[in-house]
Each structure stands twice: as structure tokens, then as C-alpha cells.
């Protein structure tokens, strides 16, 4: 299997409080279903965790930990990052190369920041991407509701063709891995 699932920033501090993203518990449930499918197909599951040097999301703090309810297997890999781009100054690209990964499945938080940036970088690096259309989320912003941001990115990212590889948006239920 030459596929890896990237689960981006599904961390406790990003899933609770007044700024919790839209349908966070439901999205975590869908991510668990996607992760189960990936493991069953022999794909790699990689949890990407954002961190800061101090304070909020500092490495090792309760807020930095993977979110409550998220299913993690002993075989899953982890990557630490400090920017919206999961490839920037991380070992993600080396991990993917070491495992001969050729295509990616992406889900996680926050849609318009880390999910979007990582997908665009993956395309630039030559990876086709499946975006799990109902397994990424956001808080939204002053101009757009979370649902509008999610829908916008599902539509926008699947229309990028300039890198060569493409993004396909597929729901959790319709996702097929290795078939």
C-alpha cells in the first residue's frame, strides 16, 4: 500500500472551549472511521500535531495532546509541526519517502489553515490527494460560517490543476482505500 492518511491538528486544545470547531465530536468520529479504513487497507496513518514554543499548544501540554475520542493505534506515526504547512521544517516528506507513499488522504482541522496549506504543498510535491469532504472542520470566521468554509474548500481544492496531481473530495462513507 502506497497511501498515507494525514490527520491534521486534531488536538485537545483545538477541540474544546468557545472556539471549538464545527461538529468537532462528529468529525472525530468520522476521522476514526477513516483511520480504521486506512489501517484495514494497510495504509499508513500519520497524526500531525501543531505546537508552539511556549504557552498554548506547547509540546506535551494537555492542549497539545491528540483530542479525546480520537482512536490511535500503536503502528500510527506522528509528526510535529510549527506552521500551517505540515511539510515545512518537519520530517513528513522523509517519512513519506521512507514508506514509499505515493498518494495522500487528508482530514483534520482547521480547514482554511493547516488542511488547505498542507494539501497545496502536497500537490506541489507531486502527491495526489483525497480530501475527506466531511472529515475536516473549522470554527469559521467573521465572513463565512464553518459550513461555508468547508464547502468552499471542498470545491476550491478539487479545482486546482496547475500542480499536475489533483485533489478528489470524497465523503467518509464513500471513501475506498486500495480498491
Q: How many domains does the chain have?
A: 1
Q: CA of 176: how far to CAs of 1, 95, 143, 158, in Å?
A: 13, 23, 34, 18
Average pLDDT by stretches of 10, the chain with 179 residues: 94 92 97 98 97 89 96 97 97 97 97 97 98 97 95 97 97 93
Residue 178 inside a domain? The answer is: no
The CATH number of the domain holding residue 123 is: 3.40.50.850
Q: CA of 20: how far to CAs of 14, 109, 136, 137, 174, in Å?
A: 6, 10, 13, 10, 26
Single pTM value for the model: 0.97
Domain hosting 8: range is: 3-170
Residue 79 inside a domain? The answer is: yes
Amino acid at each position: 500500500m502506497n497511501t498515507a492518511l494525514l490527520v491534521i491538528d486534531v488536538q485537545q486544545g483545538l477541540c474544546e472551549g468557545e472556539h471549538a470547531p464545527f461538529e468537532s465530536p462528529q468529525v472525530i468520529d468520522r476521522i476514526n472511521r477513516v483511520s480504521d479504513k486506512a489501517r484495514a487497507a494497510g495504509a499508513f496513518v500519520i497524526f500531525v500535531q501543531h505546537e508552539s514554543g511556549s504557552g498554548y499548544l506547547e509540546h506535551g501540554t494537555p492542549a497539545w495532546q491528540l483530542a479525546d475520542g480520537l482512536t490511535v493505534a500503536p503502528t500510527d506515526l506522528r509528526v510535529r509541526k510549527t506552521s500551517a504547512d505540515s511539510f515545512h521544517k518537519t520530517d513528513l516528506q522523509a517519512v513519506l519517502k521512507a514508506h514509499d507513499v505515493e498518494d495522500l488522504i487528508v482530514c483534520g482541522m482547521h480547514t482554511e489553515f493547516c488542511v488547505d496549506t498542507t494539501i497545496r504543498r502536497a500537490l506541489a510535491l507531486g502527491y495526489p490527494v483525497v480530501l475527506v469532504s466531511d472529515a475536516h472542520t473549522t470554527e469559521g470566521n467573521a465572513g463565512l460560517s464553518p459550513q461555508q468554509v468547508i464547502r468552499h474548500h471542498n470545491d476550491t481544492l478539487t479545482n486546482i490543476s496547475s500542480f499536475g496531481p489533483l485533489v478528489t473530495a470524497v465523503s467518509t462513507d464513500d471513501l475506498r482505500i486500495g480498491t
